[in-house]
Chain A
Amino acid sequence: MSNRRSRQSSSAPRISDDQMIDLVTKLRQILPEIGQRRRSDKVSASKVLQETCNYIRNLNREVNNLSERLSQLLESVDEDSPEAAVIRSLLM
Chain B
Amino acid sequence: MASADKLINTYVPEKDVFALHFLQSLSNLRTQNPLNSPDKSIDRVRKIKKAAYVSMARAAGGTSRLWSRALLRRAAKDDNKSVRFSRRKRKVTWKISSKRKRSNQRAPVVEEAAERLRNLVPGGGGMETSKLMEETAHYIKCLSMQVKVMQCLVDGLSPK
> Which A residues contact B (CB, under 8 angstroms)?
1-9, 12-15, 18-20, 22-24, 26-27, 30-31, 42-43, 45-46, 49-50, 52-53, 55-57, 59-60, 62-64, 66-75, 77, 83, 86-87, 90-92
Q: Do most interface residues of chain A lie in helix, strand or loop, or is the interface mixed? A: helix
Enumerate chain A residues within 8 angstroms of B128, measured Cβ to Cβ. Answer: 7, 12
Contact A64 to B49, CB < 8 A, known contacts A7-B102, A13-B7, A71-B41: yes
Count of chain B residues with a beta carbon within 8 Å of a chain A beta carbon: 75
CB distance from B142 to the nearest CB of A (A): 10
CB distance from B30 to the nearest CB of A (A): 6
- List 22 contacting pairs A-B, 8 Å CB cutoff, sorted by A: A6-B96, A7-B100, A7-B102, A19-B130, A22-B1, A23-B8, A30-B140, A46-B107, A49-B110, A49-B116, A56-B117, A63-B49, A63-B53, A66-B151, A70-B154, A71-B44, A74-B48, A74-B157, A83-B159, A86-B157, A90-B23, A91-B26
A67 lies within 8 A of B156 (CB): no
Does B76 count as interface, using CB distance less than 8 angstroms?
Answer: no
Cβ of B120: which chain A residues have Cβ within 8 Å of it? 1, 53, 56-57, 60
How far does the Cβ of A63 sit from chain B's closest Cβ, in whole Å? 6
A46–B117 alpha-carbon span in the complex (Å): 11
List chain B residues, Cβ under 8 A from A70: 48, 150, 153-154, 157
B122 contacts across to A, CB distance below 8 A: 3
